[in-house]
A = this chain, B = another copy of it.
Amino acid sequence: MKYVIIGGVAGGAGTAARLRRMDETAEIVIFEKGKYISYANCGLPYYIGEVIKERDKLLIQTAASFKSRFNTDVRVNTEVTAIQPAEKKVTAKCSVTAEVYEESYDKLVLAPGAFPVRPPLLGIDGEGIFTLRNVSDMDAIKQYVHSGGIRRAVVIGAGFVGLEMAENLHHLGLEVSIVEKVSQILPPLDFNIAAIVQQHIRAKGVRLYLDTAVSAFERQDGEVSVKLGNGDSIEADIVIMSVGVRPDTRLALAAGLETGKSGGIVVNEFLQTSDPDIYAVGDAIEFPNPFTGKPGPAYLAGPANKQGRICANNLVAGNVQKYPGSISTAIVKVFDMTVGIAGMASKNLQKEGIRNIVSTTHGGSHAGYYPGARQLTIQIAFAPVSGRLLSAQVAGYEGTDKRLDVLASIIQRNGTVYDLAEFEHAYAPPFSSAKDPVNIAGFVADNILSGRMKVIYPCDISRLEEDTLLLDVRSPAEHDRGGIPDALNIPVDELRDRLHQLPADRKIVIYCQVGLRGYLAQRILMQSGFSRVYNLSGGYRLWEIYQEACYQLQAEDCGCFQPA
């Protein structure tokens, strides 16, 4: 059996390695148009930032090492220019020798990846404007950064890679600005969670221009003037365009393979394209989203690697293993913080017409009495009746990745908020509390679903009816340090004795610092004849961050959530 694979990075190289383990006698050829195969794509920003010092560490395999280990014929610098499905052949061109030749296959695997979007803006092809996708891009950026006089960087696009680039350029000592066209960083996240990280980025001295479009670039006097949609401009010595990627479907389209609505190569559940002898994996494919059923991409290394393994199994044994799809788990380190998501953010669920309830909770990374504990924030979205967990977003420091991984494993297996409540985590003081933040998220969701707790969200505060009473149940000292304007302060511990001070006929919105005391207060009021009592989800801590984010946008609210 002869396998030809187009693309030698995550999906392609992974498919080849697994193919070899499954079939020692197969003939395997990989075509890679770049100079390198199987390199550490996700490490590129960190080599630019000199966090990773040795370039060789990114080059995990070479054509020679892949040949000796996997007996695979790896042809780098060789682009496949056409597929002839009828003849089961591809046409390849070596960029070094300019040789053009055909290669036959029994089965073909497409792993062409994606290419960075370069919007058609005036001046975008000028000097000093880069995208980052592969080792050559990385080398070019690194060389330019060290070419002398490079002090100011503008990163356009505040997605995962954009933020990594911003951090790494900042780490090199550059003045960094980030320009993002929507009103928050990390567009797959909900506004509140993004807001937490925005605050952190700004505190590090990076300028953040949100809700800001770029209209053009002008090169003059050795610098780039980044023209903004509002008429302003930012002067930079280097610009990194990081506004997303698009699946590279050129070969697939030319070969008549089916592509889909989201622009990716269509595959069935066995990763087989519309031509039964051609399979496809990685960034170039689209696949039904587990929540909506609608096809979409997952531009992520983890899914690409898993697809490679499954694709090889199906090639060798004949469609034996289904790919279950991706819940799009993603994470990013942003200076000292970590933030990530698994599943579909509430705003996107809403867009798809999927009803969901949101709850935001804060908890310690580990036991509060053990040194070094930091607060982390978990925001979950879940189905109103079943309690099925639809997404989780986590932002914090130590232990953020852990909670996200646990939540992802539960989302992936169609778990509910009750599974969060029951989750039996590994507890000792350096690692967690007797009730993990994941448990707390589950407990609170359970309280919401059962009607024991009615919640209201930060963005609802500016839209409250005139006669609503805001009740701060924190201590007077906390209240004095800052609170939501016009709130009455009755500490929860005094509430039972001061019920007469509250109007039974008015709507009451309670808040405390994180939400726990607010909940206790709510339980007291709800059982004492007060019928319209709401607790602010995420507490004052989240509202304060939310307010700051709205202030920065010069907006009254974000409009993300509907009132409870």
Contacts and interface: CB of A to CB of B under 8 A. Distances in A.
Interface in A430-458: 430-432, 434-436, 439, 443, 452
Contact of A370 (B43, B68, B430): B43
Count of this chain's copies in the oligomeric assembly = 2
Interface string A295-310: 0000011111110010
B329 A424 contact: yes
Interface string A19-50: 01111110000000000000010110010000
Given A43-B370, A68-B493, A406-B405, A425 B302 contact: yes
Given A405-B406, A527-B24, A40 B429 contact: yes
A528 interface: yes
A523 interface: yes
Interface in A370-394: 370-371
Interface string A409-443: 11011010001011111111111101110010001
A423 B402 contact: no
Nearest to A56: B369
A527 B401 contact: no
Given A367-B40, A370-B46, A426 B23 contact: no
Contacts of A427: 42, 300-302, 329-331
Given A69-B520, A430-B333, A409 B423 contact: yes
A304 B434 CA distance: 9
B52 A432 contact: no
Contact of A426 (B20, B340, B424, B435): B340
Contacts of A191: none
A178 interface: no
A327 interface: yes
A342 interface: yes
Interface string A302-329: 1111100100000000000000101101
A401 B432 contact: yes
A10 B434 contact: yes
A269 to B, nearest CB: 13
Contacts of A301: 427, 434
A42 B428 contact: yes
Contact of A331 (B46, B303, B426): B426
Contacts of A367: 40, 42-43
A424 B326 contact: yes
A251 interface: no
Contacts of A452: 21-22
Contacts of A340: 426
B24 A524 contact: yes
A413 B412 contact: no
A58 interface: yes
A201 B252 CA distance: 57
Nearest to A17: B520
A368 interface: yes
B519 A369 contact: no
A492 B69 contact: yes
Interface string A242-257: 0000000000000000
A333 B333 CA distance: 25
Nearest to A25: B527
Nearest to A420: B409
A51 interface: yes
Contacts of A519: 21
Contacts of A520: 21, 69
Contact of A422 (B42, B306, B406): B306
Contacts of A129: none
A215 interface: no
A354 interface: no
A431 B331 contact: yes
A305 B332 CA distance: 33
A199 interface: no
A338 interface: yes
A425 B40 CA distance: 17
27 contacts: A20-B523, A21-B519, A21-B523, A24-B523, A40-B429, A43-B429, A57-B369, A65-B493, A69-B492, A69-B493, A71-B496, A164-B428, A302-B424, A302-B434, A306-B422, A306-B424, A327-B424, A329-B424, A329-B427, A330-B426, A330-B428, A331-B427, A401-B431, A406-B409, A408-B425, A412-B423, A413-B415
Given A309-B443, A412-B423, 9 more contacts: A24-B527, A42-B428, A52-B369, A52-B371, A329-B425, A330-B427, A402-B402, A408-B426, A409-B410
Closest 3 CB pairs of A and B: A24-B527, A331-B426, A57-B369
